Amino acid sequence: MQKPIFIIGYMGSGKSRLAKVLSESLNCSHHDLDDLISQTYGNTIEEIFNSEGEISFRKMENKQLRLLNVNFGVVSMGGGTPCFYDNMNWMNSNGVTIYLRAKIPTLVKYLSKEDGVTRPLLRGVQKKDLPEFIAKHLFERQYFYEQASISCNIETLGWEDGLVQKITNLN
């Protein structure tokens, strides 16, 4: 497979972590779309959300996605990237998309552990309300995530071993 691999899924599903491990396993480059946006615009994602708002951020995200010059590599996407504009169609047309599916309790567990990490979409959400917030958000995004070329359940594959092995075997 000599196409880019786009890793998609909800925040906390392990997209960035998998992209790093997978790029090492495949001996190819790794890019994180949020990091590229931060570098290009000179602000963190949180700062962009705070000063410009989500709509402006989504426009920047869409533009940065299309500027990617990746013939072969692994790209970790933001959780909302597939859900705006025609980003999901673009990724499917230009590479292989892998959806990291996780259950709500798993996402709550990972997102609750993140000390010091600020997720703009979680600002103001109380810990006790996190399961309901994630469930609603996943319901809204599921349509887009389900369009991925490959869907991997992180619960049953055993995170790094099974998941990386399954994806590496595609090559």
CATH class of 5-168: alpha beta
Query: What does the domain layout of the chain look like in residue ranges?
Result: 5-168
Predicted pLDDT of residue 79: 94
pLDDT score recorded for residue 163: 65
The DSSP output letter for 1 is -
Question: What pLDDT is recorded for position 100?
Answer: 94
What is the pTM (predicted TM-score) of this model? 0.89
pLDDT of residue 164: 67
pLDDT of residue 169: 64
* Confidence at residue 115, expressed as pLDDT on a 0 to 100 scale: 53
CB atoms within 10 A of CB 101: 20
Measured from the Cβ of residue 85, the count of other Cβ atoms closer than 10 Å reads: 16
What is the distance between the alpha carbons of residues 150 and 92, in angstroms, rounded to a whole number? 10
pLDDT digits (tens, 9 = 90+) for 110-150: 888 665 456 788 888 888 899 999 999 999 999 999 999 99
Q: Which two tokens stand for residue 19?
A: 């992209």
pLDDT of res. 84: 96
| Phi-psi sector, 118: left (phi>0), alpha (psi -120 to 50), beta | beta
Identity of the amino acid at 30: H
96 in Cβ contact with 170 (< 8 Å): yes
The predicted pLDDT at position 116 comes to 45
Dihedral pair phi/psi, residue 168, rounded to 5° = -60, -35
Residues of the chain with pLDDT under 70: 1, 70, 113-118, 157-171
